[in-house]
């Protein structure tokens, strides 16, 4: 990476004015939330196949509930970081058309981003496991039953073994196919469909930028690649776009 490459990325963004930002867990580490697959990531400490699954939810609700209660608490204490805020500012300036995120923490919306596709759902949505009636985080944490049917509550996040929300997925594919710049921030791009969107964008003619600490399997198609911290990277990009 050097300064002239960053200038090219900035000029593509300014010229096309419809960048798509794709974010993963690395986006929120600067807000104090742990990521999943890096060395100290959550999945190296706890086993997702025991906790974030439909099997755990139905077969071991106590453990499932305790895991998500702890995650909710961590997220409740977190705030958007400088990177989230710069992305929201880019959107308000017409440089970014949407954010596609694998994160469930709601921090993009909290920072002011308007068009956010949450591929893995959101902690801000809780519903009944049985009848699907909406409920609240407080009721989930307090282990209150569903007000409609007395069933148990669950977070509105996508568990292993569940499908991604169709609307968010379709909007994300459409956006990837029609953007001038596709920018990955803090995703290891190891799970589907995250690992397909950059190549779809690239095939449709987009400039692909990847900012991630570790290598990703999609690095080969990046027009711009950096392992800078996301906050630092976005501040430099913003300075180029002043
Ligand atoms: Zn219910």
Q: Say if residue 201's pLDDT is above 70.
A: yes
Res 195: pLDDT? 86
Q: Output the CA 109–ligand 1 centroid distance in Å.
A: 27
Q: Give me the residue spans of the domains in the chain.
A: 1-33+80-120+163-242, 34-77+122-157
Q: What's the pLDDT score for residue 39?
A: 54
Judge whether residue 219 has pLDDT over 80. Answer: yes
Same fold, 1-33+80-120+163-242 and 34-77+122-157: no
Q: Output the pLDDT for position 2.
A: 53
- Grade residue 98 by pLDDT with cuts at 50, 70 and 90: very high
Whether residue 38 has pLDDT greater than 80 = no
Ligand 1 center to residue 76 CA distance, Å?
A: 25
- DSSP per residue, the chain: --HHHHHHHHHHHHHH--EEEEE-GGGGGGGT---SSSTT-HHHHS-HHHHSBHHHHHH-HHHHHHHHHHHHHHHHT----HHHHHHHHHHHTTSEEEEEES--S-HHHHHT-S-EEETTEEEEEEEETTT--EE-HHHHHTTPPPTTT-PPEEEEEPPBTSPPPHHHHHHHHHHHHT-SEEEEES----STTTTTHHHHHHHTT-EEEEE-SS--TTGGG-SEEE-S-HHHHHHHHHHHT-
Look up the pTM and report it.
Answer: 0.90
CATH of domain 34-77+122-157: 3.30.1600.10
For ligand 1, the distance from its centroid to the CA atom of residue 125, given in whole angstroms, is 14
pLDDT at 80: 95
**Architecture of domain 1-33+80-120+163-242 in this structure:** 3-Layer(aba) Sandwich (3.40)
- Asked whether residue 41 carries a pLDDT value surpassing 90, the answer given is no
Among 4-18, 59-73, 87-101, 201-215, which stretch is predicted with the lowest mean pLDDT? 59-73
Instruction: Using alpha carbons, list the distances in angstroms from residue 35 to 70, 81, 215.
Output: 15, 15, 15
pLDDT tier at 161, thresholds 50, 70, 90:
confident
Task: Determine the distance separating the centroid of ligand 1 and the alpha carbon of 139, expressed in angstroms.
Answer: 12
Residues with CB under 5 A from ligand 1 (ion): 128, 130-131, 133, 146, 148-149, 151
65 in catalytic set: no
Identify the pLDDT of residue 194. 84
């Amino acid at each position: 990476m050097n300064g002239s490459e960053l200038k090219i990325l900035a000029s593509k963004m300014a010229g096309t004015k419809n960048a798509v930002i794709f974010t993963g867990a690395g986006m929120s580490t600067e807000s104090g939330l742990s990521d999943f697959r890096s060395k100290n990531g959550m999945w190296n400490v706890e086993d997702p196949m025991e906790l974030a699954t439909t099997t755990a939810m139905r077969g071991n609700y106590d453990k499932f509930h305790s895991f998500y209660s702890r995650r909710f608490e961590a997220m409740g204490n977190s705030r958007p970081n400088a990177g989230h805020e710069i992305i929201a500012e880019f959107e308000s300036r017409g440089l970014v058309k949407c954010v596609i995120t694998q994160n469930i923490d709601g921090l993009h919306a909290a920072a002011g981003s308007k068009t956010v596709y949450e591929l893995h759902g959101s902690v801000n949505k809780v519903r009944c496991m049985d009848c699907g009636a909406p409920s609240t985080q407080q009721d989930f944490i307090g282990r209150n039953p569903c007000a409609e049917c007395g069933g148990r509550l669950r977070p509105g996040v996508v568990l292993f073994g569940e499908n991604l929300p169709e609307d968010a997925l379709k909007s994300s594919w459409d956006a990837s196919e029609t953007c001038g710049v596709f920018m990955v921030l803090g995703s290891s791009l190891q799970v589907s469909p995250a690992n397909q969107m950059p190549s779809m964008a690239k095939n449709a003619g987009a400039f692909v930028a990847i900012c991630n600490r570790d290598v990703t399997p999609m690095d080969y198609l990046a027009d711009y690649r950096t392992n800078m911290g996301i906050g630092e990277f976005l501040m430099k990009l913003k300075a180029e776009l002043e």
